Amino acid sequence: MNQPARRVVIVGGGFAGLFAARMLARAPVQVTLLDRAEHHLFQPMLYQCATGIMSEGKIAYPLRELLRKHGNVEFMIAEVTGIDAAGRRVQARRPLGRQLEFGYDYLILAAGVRQSYFGHDEYAPIAPGMKTIEDAMKIRRRIFGAFEMAESADDPAERARWLTFALVGAGPTGVELAGQIREVATKTLRREYRHIQPEDARVLLFDGGQAPLAMFGPKLSALAARDLSKLGVELHMGCLVTGVDTGGLQVKDHDGKLTRYDTWNVLWTAGVEAPPLAAAVAKATGAEQDRAGRIVVGADLSIPGHPDILVAGDMMSLDKLPGVAEVAMQSGLYAGRRVSQEAQGHTYDKPFKYRDLGSAAYISRGKAVVSAFKMHFGGFPGWVVWLFIHIGFLTGFRNRIGALFSWWFAFTRDLRRERTFTLDDMPLESGAYGEPPTSARTNP
């Protein structure tokens, strides 16, 4: 009598979850992939969606389409809220609120991370982060909407607030977004307005470290700082943001001096933390969490004492591995391979070993920095390598071809064809998000 197929639940449709599901496609298992979104998202390109180069459809791909050929894999939209480790059950919630449960023999947790505001979640409505399609569209509204509001402003002080963009965090996302905003102002929009000069827009980049892209090493960090400064980005390194409100932000420099910057455009690109699910899993399993809330795992990616629960991608904490796409891909493949082997009755005792294939960050047109295979270089060669890396990482032939066409128009003709936005959550003239202007309020 044949044994029933092992049940595998994968939480998260990012690189780790998707690669695990693909590895299990021919294994004697039944896979259920759960995610809050219906698409797989290439997060490193979100800033290009936000600044009008890419449409959301070119950096996202429907999970059902990606998994359609894998008959043993099913996908459901649901948000996982907790687990019963003893009963091997996953608790989830459908989009409209009804609770669901899924039994498992193996559980692969690949739910990623979310934006961290370092204990100040009240900043989130004012200073959007960059983790989801919704975030990118919100930032697109803030960027292009700010130029529109500045065009119709009569007061020079108001116009200056609209044309000031403050970014918190000088990692890859902050650097790439800062450079793109300056390119929007100095190239794309330079001839489109009659009452403002878009190139007057100020882009301020704040970080508590001493240099942008510090994780790339001193050589590339210095190169990035030089290129950003040439582009017109104002670097404020060694500065800690001590407050954010609807009218701007307050910053403390390395000497302890407090300075306030008035702007209606604060964008948050600093820090990540594990989602609430990680705390629920830690409580259910006794797992340890690191400072960012990620789950500490063993060399086989399992939670100690729970060999049936594996953690992959950004949600795992192992050997201080960075939260990059390549780590997610490799850990997802490993988790899927291990489960596949064990489901077939084989012992799989090889530890996970990460092969560092390098990192790259875009600065501006024709300029990027690359750190790979003990080589560190930038400028135009770095930009070419960056192009090939990101084309390779995009999911689907259609998305790759679409990206090439989008880049061609953006890089050769200064055209950004994905600039459509609405004014749904733009700050109102009172400076308060979601609060009616003084003239529109009614007396109690």
Which helix (H) or strand (E) segment is 268 a member of?
Answer: strand 266-268
Helices 397-413 and 379-393: angle between axes, nearest 10 degrees: 150
Q: Choose among 363, 148, 360: nearest CA to 264.
A: 148
**Active-site annotation holder among 176, 326, 342, 418:** 176
176 is an active site residue: yes
* Dist CA 358 CA 54 (whole Å): 24
CA atoms within 13 A on the CB side of 106: 29
Beta strand ranges found along 297-347 (DSSP E): 302-303, 306-311, 316-317
- Angstrom distances, CA of residue 150 to CA of 36, 199, 420: 37, 12, 18
Rg (CA), the chain: 23
Sheet (strand 106-109) strand order = 73-77, 29-35, 6-11, 106-109, 306-311, 302-303
- The catalytic residue positions are 176
